[in-house]
Amino acid sequence: MNTYSSKLVENAVSELSRLPGIGKKTALRLALHLLKKDKAIAENLGTAIIEMRENIQFCKECHNISDSEVCEICGNQKRDKDTICVVEDVRDVMAIENTGQYNGVYHILGGIISPMEGIGPNDITVDSLVNRVSAGNAKEVVMALSTTIEGDTTNFYIYKKLKDKEIKITTIARGISVGDELEYADEITLGRSIINRTPFESTL
Amino acid sequence: MNTYSSKLVENAVSELSRLPGIGKKTALRLALHLLKKDKAIAENLGTAIIEMRENIQFCKECHNISDSEVCEICGNQKRDKDTICVVEDVRDVMAIENTGQYNGVYHILGGIISPMEGIGPNDITVDSLVNRVSAGNAKEVVMALSTTIEGDTTNFYIYKKLKDKEIKITTIARGISVGDELEYADEITLGRSIINRTPFESTL
């Protein structure tokens, strides 16, 4: 006998459990939830997923997800096109945008170099970044990758590719998080925060 | 500016985060995962969800999910139609089926009476169960609800409705789980397992 007593449910559970972090049990719970609720909820969900995947575009400048050929950020006349912030994925763009502290544009690598996961330089958008810089479209490249081995490898690879161009290459500041206590900070972070100390500004 | 830089993604995230246990962050992670993978994966997922919700049927006998008017269990000539096991939802059916120890049919209530969540007797399939029993279609009703206040309330409500019918009403055995140590068992379970002790059978 078919454990799910319905091929339709079995199929939905099987597709749902392909999603990362969703096992068979959770998938079944989600499927049964959708069966209990209005038809419209399942239909909207299914349609939203299909339409997103069908119609999504990636900005031809920065590779950000977009509903048009050029994303809202690259298309915005008020943004500073001379500063390019290099990030791993779209979530990093959202995080930086949420700070309201950055007015430049982005370059989304779509991953970081990771031999362990079989991701090489050609699997991410490094060439496209080099082309943007070579075309004279930038004065500063701000590296904003995570400080893991993979992030450092990618940083170094990109640095080598860009170091002969006439641009400034910077990296986001590493230091003690605002609100964190010094005694709990790791030595490397604390060390860097002393080396890269900044002029005192009263916040009062 | 739109935080998601794409209405399509925003829409998919909003629909995904309606699912139980999935917040905005997880929904975004799932949406970006679907964007990275083949189109076919998102399409199969969307279609499976829509088709399941569109075409699912509920067995007219036991209310189990089904691809046809009568579910595979009720439609199976080899199952004992005289014994009806009353459960809360479809997952309980799967759990009992997996034991391979039950050959009767089921009755899926579709919930349990819970004033806190606004679920009353009319929101679950009690009347349909009473009709099945009244029509002379059962010799035994096995109650298999959880031992919570809601489960006990529902048990009692159903018991009152069925007690004058000429059937046996039983409940699944409560006792110490196989493999559990007595010293960690709660008193009520241990007490019940003594009251309802069974003849010794050697398992060797």
Q: What's chain A look like in SS3?
A: CCCCCCHHHHHHHHHHCCCCCCCHHHHHHHHHHHHHCCHHHHHHHHHHHHHHHHHCEECCCCCCEECCCCCCCCCCCCCEEEEEEEECCHHHHHHHHHHCCCCEEEEECCCCCEHHHCECHHHCCHHHHHHHHHCCCCCEEEECCCCCHHHHHHHHHHHHHHCCCCCEEEECCCCCCCCCCHHHCCHHHHHHHHHCCCCCCCCC
Residues contacting residue A37 through CB under 8 Å, at least 6 positions apart: none
Indicate whether A184 belongs to any domain: no
Q: Tell me if chain A has a CB within 8 Å of the CB of B95.
A: no
A123-A126-A130 Cα angle (round to 5):
155
Q: Are residues B147 and B105 in the same domain?
A: yes
Q: Are residues B50 and B84 in the same domain?
A: no
Q: Are residues A84 and A142 in the same domain?
A: yes
Q: Are residues A19 and A83 in the same domain?
A: no
Indicate whether A43 belongs to any domain: yes
pLDDT tens digits along A105-126? 999 999 999 999 899 999 999 9
The pTM (predicted TM-score) of the whole model is 0.79
Q: What is the CATH number of the domain that holds A20?
A: 1.10.8.420
Q: Are residues A50 and A84 in the same domain?
A: no
Indicate whether A86 belongs to any domain: yes
Indicate whether A182 belongs to any domain: no
- In the predicted model, what is the mean pLDDT of residues A27-47? 94
Tell me the C-alpha distance between A154 and A135, whole Å. 22
pLDDT tens digits along A86-100? 999 999 999 899 888
Residue A203: pLDDT band (50, 70, 90) is low
Q: Which of A53-57, A168-172, B199-203 is least confident?
A: B199-203
Indicate whether B124 belongs to any domain: yes
Indicate whether A107 belongs to any domain: yes
Indicate whether B163 belongs to any domain: yes
Tell me the C-alpha distance between B191 and B55, whole Å. 47
Q: What is the CATH number of the domain that holds A123?
A: 3.40.1360.10
Q: List the single residue in B8, B26, B71 with the smallest CB-CB distance to A52.
A: B8
ipTM: 0.81
Indicate whether B196 belongs to any domain: no
State yes or no: pLDDT of B1 exceeds 60. Answer: no
Q: Which of A184-188, B18-22, B85-89, B142-146 is least confident?
A: A184-188
Q: Are residues A165 and A96 in the same domain?
A: yes
Q: Are residues A92 and A160 in the same domain?
A: yes
H/E run at residue B30: helix B24-36
Cβ contacts (< 8 Å) between A2 and chain B: which residues? 72
Q: Are residues A32 and A93 in the same domain?
A: no
- In the predicted model, what is the mean pLDDT of residues B32-43? 93
Q: Tell me if chain B has a CB within 8 Å of the CB of A172.
A: no
**How many domains would you assign to chain B?**
2
Q: Are residues A102 and A146 in the same domain?
A: yes
Q: Which domain holds residue A141?
A: 79-172
Nearest chain A Cα to B75, which residue?
Answer: A5
Which candidate, A31, A35, A13, A1, places its Cα nearest to that of B72? A1
Tell me the C-alpha distance between A116 and A130, whole Å. 25
- In the predicted model, what is the mean pLDDT of residues A25-30? 94
Q: Which two tokens stand for residue A150?
A: 């993979």
Cβ contacts (< 8 Å) between A48 and chain B: which residues? 8, 11-12, 14-16, 46
State yes or no: pLDDT of A167 exceeds 80. Answer: yes
- In the predicted model, what is the mean pLDDT of residues B39-65? 95
Contact B144, B171 (CB under 8 A): yes
